[in-house]
Amino acid sequence: MTEYTEKLTEVNAVPSETIDGDDGFILEIDGLKVYFELRKRGFQHAGFVQAVDGVDLKLRRGETIAIVGESGCGKTSLMKTILRINTPTGGTITFDGEVINNLKSQGLKNLRRKIGFVQQDPYGALAPFMDVQTILEEPLKINGVKDRKERVKRVRQVLEEVRMTPVDDFLRKFPHQLSGGQQQRVVIARAMILNPILLVADEPVSMLDASVRVEILKLLRALQEEHNLAVIYITHDLATVRYFSEYIYVMYAGQVIEKAPESQLINETAHPYSHALLAATSDPDPKNVDEFQKVPAGEPPSLVSPPAGCRFHPRCELIEKGLCDVKRPPEFDLGNRHTVSCWLFKDRPIVREFEN
Ligand SMILES: Nc1ncnc2c1ncn2[C@@H]1O[C@H](COP(=O)(O)OP(=O)(O)OP(=O)(O)O)[C@@H](O)[C@H]1O
Ligand code: SF4
Ligand SMILES: [Mg+2]
């Protein structure tokens, strides 16, 4: 066994029953809250931005989920908390059989080598003074792969996986010498280089030209299938989820308001906000590039003092006054792993009640 494969074995090759825990989940998020404290004004406490407020989420090995919602609903805050860049304010996150809420240095290092991270802006994600080979060798060096030949071998392998061939044409290029799509491939290669078990992709195509968006989504899909990766795909655009997400979580103002298998959510949309989001989607296919992305009418609410009851009520045409604006709707069960938090479905069984 080579030094590199030994390292990965150490990190990732625990038998899957152990990794997945008793119920098969590699990631379980329960009642997660992520609040950011606002700067104090004089002696007064200025309050908190409730970026994520009571989110539950479960993910199995090899499963792909999408988190969808408009700008500012807390998608990136959630993702950064899974990576423990943010610290949870409440609730628990269990990853790979371990509660990660309070991990410290070595624990965080272990966590981050098991999670690959693809962000929105590839150029901003790549150090401009490093060439592709240096960028990709860096995580291997940090994780103790001392043999240079071994590192270069893995760099070449991962560049082939992201279809940057012939590899020799790219190894010595700097980020500014690459197109946006090629830069994002390098970011994806870096996310894959330590053989993660989970890939988190935060709006991975929203800053790319329409012509390369589908290619990048297909690449992510292919990598997911080849490596049986769990993937969390974060987007404001419901139309792109059909490229690879099996299950969708719709977020509004820091909360999950509907979740369902992909086709169920698209064909049997329940929540008025999900309806609006669906009506406003674009298509990443270049043929449909002129279709643009609108957002539902009205402004997203303040997350410092969010509306009482259902947070969508100030924008909802179906509001039942005295109920929707007063009491937070529980999660109602619609069957087929489809749930919704909306009072329109109050005749359905309750899966979960919330504090107001
Ligand atoms: N470090 C921080 N300090 C204070 N507020 C923050 C911080 N990070 C995020 N926020 C706030 O939390 C809320 C959610 O932001 P977040 O970036 O998670 O949303 P998003 O869904 O990813 O939006 P976008 O689609 O624009 O990327 C916003 O009101 C944002 O201003
Ligand atoms: S709970 Fe009421 S206000 Fe909220 S989405 Fe449903 S109908 Fe609209
Ligand atoms: Mg974001």
Instruction: Give tens-digit pLDDT for 203-238.
Output: 999 889 888 998 999 999 999 999 999 999 999 888
- Cα separation, 356 vs 264, in Å, equals 28
User: Hey, which of 255, 273, 342, 354 would you mutate to test ligand 2's pocket, going by the most ligand atoms within 8 Å of its Cβ?
Assistant: 342
Q: Which residues line ligand 1 (CB under 6 A)?
A: 36, 49, 51, 69, 71-77, 236, 303
Instruction: Give tens-digit pLDDT for 13-39.
Output: 333 333 344 468 999 999 999 999 887
Peptide bond into 139 cis (omega under 30): no
Give the DSSP letter of residue 242: G
- Cα separation, 83 vs 124, in Å, equals 18
Q: Which residues are CB-contacts of 282 (< 8 A; sequence separation ≥ 6)?
A: 237, 239, 288, 291, 292, 293
- Ligand 1, atom 2, residue with closest C-alpha: 36
Residue written as token pair 């005749």: 347
Write the burial class of residue 285 (CB in 10 Å: 0-12 exposed, 13-18 middle, 19+ buried).
middle
Distances from the Cα of 165 to the Cα of 134, 188, 269, 286, angstroms: 17, 15, 42, 24
CATH of 3-38+46-308, one of 3.30.1050.10, 3.30.70.270, 3.40.50.300, 3.40.50.1860: 3.40.50.300
- Cα separation, 95 vs 197, in Å, equals 10
Q: What's the mean per-residue pLDDT of the chain?
A: 88
> Contact at 8 Å (CB) between 200 and 79?
yes
- Cα separation, 221 vs 241, in Å, equals 11
Ligand number, closest to the Cα atom of 270 = 2
**Cβ of 213 below 6 Å from ligand 2:** no
Q: Which residues are CB-contacts of 215 (< 8 A; sequence separation ≥ 6)?
A: 181
Sketch the domain layout of the chain as residue ranges: 3-38+46-308
Instruction: Give tens-digit pLDDT for 139-194.
Output: 999 999 999 999 999 999 999 999 999 999 999 999 999 999 999 999 999 999 99
pLDDT(292) > 50: no
- Cα separation, 354 vs 334, in Å, equals 18
Residue written as token pair 């329940």: 270
pLDDT band at 288 (very low <50, low <70, confident <90, very high): very low
Q: From the CA of 79, how far away is ligand 1's center (Å)? A: 11
Q: What is the pTM of this model?
A: 0.89
**Cβ of 318 below 6 Å from ligand 2:** yes
> Contact at 8 Å (CB) between 152 and 2?
no
